[in-house]
Amino acid sequence: MFVPFSIIMPCYNAGLYVREALKSVLRQDYEGALQLVVVDDCSTDNSLEVISSVLDAYQGPVETLLLRNEVNRGVAATVDVAVAHAKYEWIIEADADDVQLSSRCRDTAELIRRYPQTQMVILSAINVDENGIPYSRTNYCFGSNDVPDELYLDSEMDRVQNYVGGKTDKKISAYGCFSAYRRSVFLRWGKLSEAPLERIAQDPPIELRSILSGPVVGSTKVACHYRCHSGNILNRARQWDTLQAWKDNEIFHVRYHRFNERTYEAMLRDVQRAIETPGLSDWSETQLGTVEEMLQRMCYTARMVARWWDMNLIHRLLWWCMCRNKVMDNMRPWFRNRLLPFQMACWVRFRLHQRRG
């Protein structure tokens, strides 16, 4: 018996890549039922025209649906719309700028059959540049290539350790572009974006909700070619050859952490909901409190990055002396390297980069 999938594709200004992305979904080597739900988030390029032309010309077995937001709402709210129109229990997210391997649905279904209690399946990805040329790999365990072919986290203790464990732990971490999750979990927790124009990421909240709900499994099988380009929110293609590029990337980084702060606040709401609602999660109140504390630390770190350049040099030095231990350990070098005023800090780091080159 084949597992049916609803494949959702949020799209915003992906006109350069969405044709290839759609075709990679429509040519899946899979005999089970497939539904493709594409939601255009009010793109200002030719994305909608490209999507329409591909879907109109398609005559295969995949059921297709094209929707369009009346206003730009951000990725999380767009995923909410797509999930509301998904007809099957298992949802696969396929980004509009990535290329799916033809085996993605088949590999995901095989893991679901072997681990029927799992709430989320996370595969791996080959990272490619704007031209589709591979340059690295991202496994289900970020930052490490030395991982088991499969990792199944069943008990709540395993999942707690996975989520809040130390740096050396083998961890399952989810990018939406190479994960699949249950629609029932999504609906039980509610919409990702509660406010009409709240802009948050979709990946971390879905991962958190799934891992709080039950077992999850990761695999080194490749789901897609993940495209890194200048329009990415995360893993953005960057230029480092001019001082202005360093300044532009610094400004982008601060804006990105404003986005992160709102995302962590939404995740904190989910943890607090789990504490207050019996049966929403199988974690104990103590375990949920540990996650809440960690997310508060992440939220504080993102808030400090977002306001960093609004503080003068004296305030930054005072903060470094008194409060640096309040942020996440891996982010302390970020603050240390930016104690100087904006222009000078960028110039120093740019010159150091040139010397190393």
**Is there a single domain that holds both residue 198 and residue 268?**
no
Question: Which tokens sit at 14?
Answer: 């992906």
Whether residue 233 lies inside any domain: the answer is: no
- Please write the tens of the pLDDT for every residue from 221-235: 999 999 986 666 555
H or E element that contains 273: helix 243-276
Phi and psi of 116, rounded to 5°? -65, -20
**Is there a single domain that holds both residue 196 and residue 314?**
no
**Is there a single domain that holds both residue 278 and residue 156?**
no
- Positions of E strands within the chain: 5-11, 34-40, 63-68, 90-93, 99-100, 120-128, 134-138, 150-153, 179-182, 216-227
Say whether pLDDT at 104 is over 70: yes
- Positions of E strands within 140-182: 150-153, 179-182
Q: Specify whether the CB–CB gap between 34 and 5 falls below 8 A.
A: yes
Whether residue 237 lies inside any domain: the answer is: no
pLDDT-derived band at 291, boundaries 50, 70, 90: very high
The last residue of a domain, from among 227, 256, 289 = 227
**Is there a single domain that holds both residue 11 and residue 125?**
yes
Say whether pLDDT at 22 is over 50: yes
Whether residue 125 lies inside any domain: the answer is: yes
Domain that holds residue 307: 243-356
Whether residue 238 lies inside any domain: the answer is: no
Whether residue 78 lies inside any domain: the answer is: yes
Structural domains in the chain (count): 2
- Please write the tens of the pLDDT for every residue from 32-70: 999 999 999 999 999 999 999 999 999 999 999 999 999
Distance CA 333, CA 349 (A): 13
3-state SS, residue 308: helix
CATH number at residue 97: 3.90.550.10
The last residue of a domain, from among 227, 262, 284 = 227
Rounded to two decimals, the pTM is: 0.91
Whether residue 235 lies inside any domain: the answer is: no
**Is there a single domain that holds both residue 153 and residue 29?**
yes
